[in-house]
Chain A
Amino acid sequence: QKEVEQNSGPLSVPEGAIASLNCTYSDRGSQSFFWYRQYSGKSPELIMFIYSNGDKEDGRFTAQLNKASQYVSLLIRDSQPSDSATYLCAFVSYNTDKLIFGTGTRLQVFP
């Protein structure tokens, strides 16, 4: 079992819709969870992190964490074509300082 599972996509949504990206993880010692966005040919950039169960909102982005279900998600409201990218889920385990990344979900927002 992979440490972080993400559907590779592509996930296609129309402009203005809500995009929902999901991630499951296997390590129950996971502490913090991160979402990164990576445009084609570019390096990952941090969108947001979450460490408490529940929702965390930042602008059009909402991260949701459910530690009991080992599930983290990212919602993008009012999706724009400029949101088209690969979204990487990552976590930090309790006894280490490294981020473990998933393979990413490719999002396509069409006009």
Chain B
Amino acid sequence: DTGVSQNPRHKITKRGQNVTFRCDPISEHNRLYWYRQTLGQGPEFLTYFQNEAQLEKSRLLSDRFSAERPKGSFSTLEIQRTEQGDSAMYLCASSAGPGGAGYGYTFGSGTRLTVV
């Protein structure tokens, strides 16, 4: 068990550019979640997958954001035409079962995005 891995750790991009982040969950975890966190705030839900199916997407998420988990293993989060307001820590988490049954998330170290 190597934990949840996220790459890159840091990304600086110019406004208007596209960026893509990768998340490798714990291998036996079938659920994968993306969150965004800004300074002084708690993690904000973006989307989640059960295996390869994207089951929920936040209504706050603009259509510039897209996520995939093509084979039910790793996932990518793409942000198109980045804006300065996209600057945040993007966190990926995975779990072995539903939160309602008490399965907590294991978070990765995050990708810190800075849009200049």
Interface residues of A (CB under 8 A from B): 4, 8, 31-32, 34, 36, 42-46, 49, 51, 88, 90, 92, 94, 96-104
Contact = CB atoms under 8 A, between A and B. Distances in A.
Contacts, number: 65
- Chain B: number of interface residues, binned into ranges: 20 to 34
Contact of B31 (A31, A36, A42, A97): A97
Contacts of A51: 102
B105 A32 contact: no
A43 B91 CA distance: 8
B21 interface: no
- Please list the 6 inter-chain residue pairs (A to B) with the smallest Cβ-Cβ separation, ordered nearest first: A101-B42, A92-B99, A46-B104, A43-B107, A31-B100, A103-B42
Given A36-B104, A99-B105, 12 more contacts: A31-B100, A32-B99, A32-B101, A32-B102, A42-B109, A43-B107, A44-B107, A46-B106, A96-B56, A97-B31, A98-B33, A99-B43
